[in-house]
Chains A and B, each alone.
Chain A
Amino acid sequence: MKKNILSAAVAAVVAVLASSGAVPAANAQGDPYPKAAAALYEKAKQEGALVVYTVWDVEHIVSILDAFSKRYPGIKTSYWQGRNPEIVQRTVTEFQAGKESVDIILSDNAPPVIRAAGAIQPYETVQEKFLVLHDPTMPIVSLQIQALVYNTKKLKPGDLPKSWEDVANPKYKGNVALDDPMRAGPLSSQLAGLKEMWKDDARFTRFVKGLKALGVPVHKSTSAMFRLVVSGEYAICEPALLHDAMEERDEKHSPVQIIKSAPPVIFPRYGAIYAKAAHPNAAKLLAEWLITTEGQAALDKVGREASRKGFESKTSIEHAYGKGTKPIPITDKGFMEDPKKWLDTNIKPLWEG
């Protein structure tokens, strides 16, 4: 009886909070978010502001922050957008100068590096059980998903590589647009993921040396490289980003297609809390909200990939590859925190040796 009353009371509180707009209705039952969010929101309102550093496009971050502000009014949001090296340099420099400049960093490669410099405040999300990938110190709010993509005008289905390893087949020489594996870009992280998954040095060596043997020039801009694949300059993109491929294929009807037999490679996109954040509760609230179905929908609206298990979106793994697809995760801490050292140890001897 007591239990029922308690449950009813909790349900009533949740219902009130939901109706007042403080909790996304879709999450109101069965997860720890509503309670955590209510507590965070109280404190965040007192903080009154939230500063975000992000690598995401301005259009995207504005749309996401607008949705957040509608859900949680009373928190004034502002953002600064830069590339990963710029985010790292700015944040670390501010940290070393003791500045309370930023609250949350929304990015992929930058947060682990910033964490290694001691400028991240560890925070474990209360929604870890819902996540495809989990990091106990930085909530993973989205994913970077790499896909093996080809130009449908340049390759027939029968000639396609079946896996990532197949790309190293000499018959694709001259057709592969290859990201520079030494620049800590998507191909570097893919290699870190494959090495970790295969746990087979001979296989890994064969793959890297096979790519090298293709003798194709490497690209320093994944986006420009993908554009050349769309234009027909190359037939295969090693690798492309899933959201780029989906947008091109589904919205612009470009002649690109995903090779589904090569599983997607996933890299975390974090909502990392800055160590000297002036508004830490607002930052945690944003990170938590982004993981909710409502937050994930806000990400999906701008074409960003979801990090929540089973979340249906146009860039979700299930949608692009079909149910039951097992992605290749990149979780090598050594690579993520000091990519240069990892590349010098694991790739350079094979690539340049």
Chain B
Amino acid sequence: MRTPPFPLKERTISWNSLRLAYRQGVLIPLFSSVVAGSLIVTPVVIVIVRSFTTARLGSSVGFSFDNYLRVLHDPKILPMLQNSVVYAGGSALFGTLVGAILAWIVARTNTPGKALVELMPLYPILMPPVMKNIAWVLLLSPKSGILNNMLQQAFGIDHPVFNAFSMPAMIWVFGLTCVTLGYLFLLPVFLSFDPSLEESAYIAGSKPMRTLLRITFPLAIPAFLSALVLNFLRGLRSFETPVLQGSPGGIDVFVSKVYDSMSVDYNPGLATAYSAVLIALSITALLLYVRTTRFSERYATITGKGYRVKVVDIGRWKYAAFLAVFVYFLIGIAIPFVVLIVTSLIPYYDYDTFMQFPSNIDLGSYHRVMRHPSFVSGLYNSLALSLIIALVTVFSGIVMAFTIYRTKVYGSKVFEFIGTIPLAFPPLVLSLGLIIAVIGSPLYNTLWALGAGLFIAYFPYALRNASGAIVNIHRELDEAAWVHGAKWRHVFFKVTLPLLKPSIAGALFYIFIEAIRNIDVAVLLVAPGMEYGPVTLFEYFRVGQWAEAAAGGVIYLLILIATVSIAKFVFKIKFSL
């Protein structure tokens, strides 16, 4: 009979504890986490060190605090930071909450049209955030926006009702892109929910809504906070929405300081110094998360007891629930997608031309996209690489989460920070750190370096997903295995991994979709002569060819929708359901 690894009294770093770890085999996940952590830490350390030692264009200045002093003396950062926190916090809260509600409806209620309801929240994930931005700018622009013009023509309203270039519109659009994470993180939790707790509430006379608010949602707090923290950090460093919607409305966010440091100052050290503010915010958000989930057993919903997930009868509300999912489907993808399709099929966008469709149909944008020299080969490369990266990243994230929450190795909580820290850095800064790390090695200008960059960029998603899910699995299941003499590999592969299956599918799907359209990280790491799909397809967004961008986006979306549908129906793959 074995004992569970590292009982509380032995949580100190000593030879004895390491020997025990060796005996129980947990050195393997620990070592794997150290390897993954090192890969992440290396470029981070490089950029931090260089922020003290280099100035403009990477010129050496010895050891200096100049970059940080410039940040401290910048009078603009406080108002910009305030805008950033409102924008990122608002979007994260809105998106994660909507995602959580959708996940609950799909997983736990008797909402009619199950097949549709399962699919509808999934498809908006496929639409890249920048496409959503463009579509909503076209819909909500004060003078030229479709909705404002329609309202004006229908009701004679003189002044614009909607304003795409305002904080609420920024929160609306970025919030919609945050729904994905909330949905994918919460769905597995609700799917693996032990209903006995809810049943107890019902027996005690609690009504469904009260049970939902007092029992169901509180138990999903770790996963909710995981998604919330991630969405908040994504919002802090997101650039498309602030550029396309913020600056035309006079709303400056903090991250533009980081980008200006790179594109006006050409000073990665200064960009890193500005990023330190984001790092501080990230650490604060993570500390909040760690503190909230420190008694992880409280949130365990998957225990040793056998149970079947119970579908809650919500009575007449089931039609409202269906409507809610349908409305999200309309807002999340259908309406913006239609706007993009029409925009891709007309010669140029203005309201009159838009409304003349289909009499003015023009396929020029599609011809141009299809003729793009690296359309096919680039797409193939990025599909293959993204699939591999998604698999490796998700597996590594689970191993690290297992190390943090199951091995109780002294100091393992530090991996929470290491694994999340890449989110605090702008992709260009981080890729530069990685370039410096590998430039003297044969890895430079290879697919390996590009793969490493994507791994680092998406590891936080994999880790946060796995952390949120693993906290919901009661330790007693692992302990039962340990007691019966299992080593870590048995516990990990036979107990933890199968129970994490719904989360794994969701994370794989999400990271694959994100990696396939990544430009920011990939662009510096792509070697000359290597064709990479996103750089090709999303080039149109970068150069402002919105019709071609929409055409490329429509083609890209159709390919992904076809892939998802084939995978779901033909191969019976379940992404998260």
Contacts and interface: CB of A to CB of B under 8 A. Distances in A.
Interface in A73-100: 78-86, 88-90, 92-94, 96-97, 99
Contacts of A116: 57
- In this complex, the interface size class of chain B, counting residues with CB under 8 Å from chain A, is 35 or more
Contact of B351 (A57, A224, A232): A232
A111 to B, nearest CB: 13
Interface stretch (B111-119, B259-267, B487-495): B259-267
Contacts of A221: 243-244, 247, 544
A248 B364 CA distance: 13
Interface stretch (A125-133, A191-199, A251-259, A323-331): A251-259
Nearest to B346: A252
Given A217-B165, A252-B348, A80 B432 contact: no
A59 B256 CA distance: 29
A320 interface: no
Specify which of A92, A102, A220, A253 lies most central, judged by the most chain B CB atoms within 10 Å of its CB.
A220
Given A97-B440, A218-B247, A227-B546, A233 B142 contact: yes
Contacts of B137: 228
B372 interface: yes
Contacts of B263: 83-85, 183-184
Contacts of A220: 243, 247, 256
B479 interface: no
B347 A79 contact: no
A221 B268 CA distance: 21
Contact of B428 (A53, A85, A180, A225): A85
A244 B543 CA distance: 10
Contact of A228 (B141, B264, B529): B141
A117 interface: yes
B248 interface: yes
A70 interface: no
Nearest to A92: B57
Contact of A92 (B58, B138, B350): B58
Nearest to A96: B58
Specify which of A79, A86, A339 lies most central, judged by the most chain B CB atoms within 10 Å of its CB.
A86
Interface in B419-436: 428, 432, 435-436
A51 B57 contact: no
Given A57-B539, A89-B432, A184-B264, A230 B350 contact: yes
Interface stretch (B216-224, B392-400, B506-514, B519-527): B519-527
B524 A90 contact: yes
Interface string B498-539: 000000000000000000000000011011110000011001
Contacts of B348: 230, 248, 252-254
Contacts of B17: none
Given A184-B263, A340-B265, A117 B57 contact: yes
Interface in A252-268: 252-255
A58 B57 contact: no
A59 B563 CA distance: 27
B568 interface: no
A221 B266 CA distance: 18
Contacts of A253: 347-348
B264 A62 contact: no
B349 interface: yes
A96 B55 CA distance: 14
B373 A59 contact: yes
A231 B539 CA distance: 21
B439 A97 contact: yes
B260 A80 contact: no
B159 interface: no
Given A78-B529, A97-B440, A233-B143, A90 B372 contact: no
B250 interface: yes
B249 interface: yes
Contacts of A218: 247
B374 interface: yes
B266 A85 contact: yes
A270 interface: no
Interface string B79-122: 00000000000000000000000000000000000000000000
30 contacts: A51-B528, A52-B528, A58-B373, A59-B368, A81-B535, A82-B524, A85-B266, A88-B266, A89-B266, A89-B268, A93-B436, A97-B439, A97-B440, A101-B445, A102-B528, A116-B57, A117-B57, A153-B350, A217-B249, A221-B244, A221-B247, A221-B544, A223-B544, A228-B144, A230-B350, A231-B141, A231-B349, A231-B351, A254-B347, A340-B266
Q: What are the 10 A-B residue pairs with the smallest beta carbon separation, nearest first? A: A223-B544, A78-B529, A217-B250, A85-B263, A80-B528, A62-B373, A254-B348, A231-B144, A232-B144, A233-B144
Interface of A: 51-53, 57-59, 62-63, 78-86, 88-90, 92-94, 96-97, 99, 101-102, 113, 116-117, 153, 180, 182-184, 217-228, 230-233, 244, 248, 252-255, 338-340, 343
